[in-house]
Each structure stands twice: as C-alpha cells, then as structure tokens.
C-alpha cells in the first residue's frame, strides 16, 4: 500500500522502480564526475563564498563571470573573474574595508578551487557595477544566463 499524501511506502516504491529499470548506456566516461565545465564551477564557488560570507548583507543579485581560466606550465591555475552587482553600495560591501571582505571571499573560494583542480590556484577578483543586470536580457545572456520559457 502506498500513500502519496502521507508518504507511506515511498521508499519501497522507489526501490521497486529502480529494480525494474533497464540499464542503459553510460553518457559519460567513468572518470568524468560531472558534465559541468570547471570554469563554470569556479564561478559558482566564488558566488557561493559571497553568499556564505555576507549572508543577508548583499542581495542575491550577484553574478560571477570568469574572464580568464588558464593552466600554466608551472602547474598553477590562473583564474580572473568579475563579480557583478547592481548597485555601488553592494560593491562596497563585497570589497569591504580596505579590501578585507574581498580577500576573505577570494581566499575561501581559492581553497575550494584548489581542491577541485588538485593544485595551486591564483585567483584575481574584480567587482563591477552593472545596474539592473537581472532585468536586462542582453546582460543576462552575457553573464551566461538563458531565458526560461
């Protein structure tokens, strides 16, 4: 017996469905753990640190655009990124007093990126104001967001 409203039997139903599904061909090589580019993941790691470190201070109207992502001969990865906000006041919050907040964001993001890449990362961050970018279709496309129908 199953109940959608109470959730009774949900685990059993899921198990029954999984057991009956045919095995299909793999979509990715076994050593590939994601279909997302490391470059895109880098942008999300930076944005995540902004949200974690600033919590309620900066609205979620923050976007990160990776400008440069290069693996250098010496084994380090160079990443340059712009952080876009809608207002100058948001820019000041992200940068912080004498750049301290931006340094904290960069250090935390760099740590995550070094785990991802398996090596040293040189991370360069810039904060730019792009007024009303969330309402501007061209800006959304330029920042990598696609219009949802």
Q: Where does the pLDDT of residue 55 fall: very low under 50, low under 70, confident under 90, or very high at 90 and above?
A: confident
Domain positions in the chain: 34-142
Helix, strand, coil tally for the chain in percent (to 5) = 45, 20, 40
pTM, to two decimals: 0.72
- Which position has the higher pLDDT, 1 or 124? 124
Burial of residue 14 (CB within 10 Å: 0-12, 13-18, 19+) is exposed
**Does pLDDT of 59 surpass 70?**
no
Q: Which residue has the tokens 């990598």?
A: 144
Per CATH, which fold does 34-142 belong to?
A: GMP Synthetase; Chain A, domain 3 (3.30.300)
Give 57's contacts (C-beta < 8 A, 6+ positions apart): 93
């Amino acid at each position: 017996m199953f109940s959608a409203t109470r959730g009774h039997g949900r685990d059993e139903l899921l198990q029954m469905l999984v057991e009956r599904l045919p095995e299909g061909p793999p979509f990715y090589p076994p050593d590939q753990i994601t279909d997302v580019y490391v470059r895109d993941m880098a942008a999300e790691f930076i944005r995540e640190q902004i949200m974690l470190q600033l919590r309620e201070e900066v609205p979620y109207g923050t976007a990160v655009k990776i400008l440069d992502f290069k693996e250098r001969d010496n084994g380090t990865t160079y990443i340059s990124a712009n952080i876009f906000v809608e207002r100058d006041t948001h820019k000041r919050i992200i940068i912080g007093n004498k750049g301290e907040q931006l340094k904290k964001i960069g250090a935390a993001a760099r740590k995550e990126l070094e785990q991802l890449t398996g090596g040293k990362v040189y991370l360069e961050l810039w904060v730019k104001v792009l007024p009303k970018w969330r309402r501007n279709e061209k800006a959304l496309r330029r920042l990598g967001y696609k219009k949802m129908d």
